[in-house]
Amino acid sequence: MLADPEACAELDNRCRDLGQSWAVPKPLTFGQDDLLDAAEVAEMCDVQPGTVRQWRRRGLPAKNTVDGVRFRVADVLAYHAGRRRRRTKTTANPDTTKES
């Protein structure tokens, strides 16, 4: 990024076009207590809105408001981090499981 920001941005865009989230986090433009709809959560987490609805069925806390279902930013971040931790624990590293 320091050596060639334009090339880095181009690589980020190519990966997004291919459906790959990039390792560089997006700046969070919401407060921890802000309420977002499924589309806003999807944009924040770089997933499809249907994925957010699946997360809700699987335990992501949601609030019913007069404007529809909303998700608190802090709950989304905690849920998303927990999913990453669980995925990391269940994914075996082949280099550490090989018998020497």
The class of domain 32-91 in CATH terms is mainly alpha
Rounded to an integer, the average pLDDT of 81-93 is 72
pLDDT digits (tens, 9 = 90+) for 30-83: 899 999 999 999 988 888 999 999 999 999 999 999 999 999 999 998 998 888
| In the chain, domain spans | 32-91
Can you tell me the distance from the alpha carbon of 30 to that of 32, in angstroms, rounded to the nearest whole number?
7
> Which of 13, 66, 63 lies closest to 38, judged by CA?
63
pLDDT of res. 21 = 61
Rounded to an integer, the average pLDDT of 1-9 is 79
Can you tell me the distance from the alpha carbon of 79 to that of 57, in angstroms, rounded to the nearest whole number?
12
**Start-to-end C-alpha separation, the chain:** 38
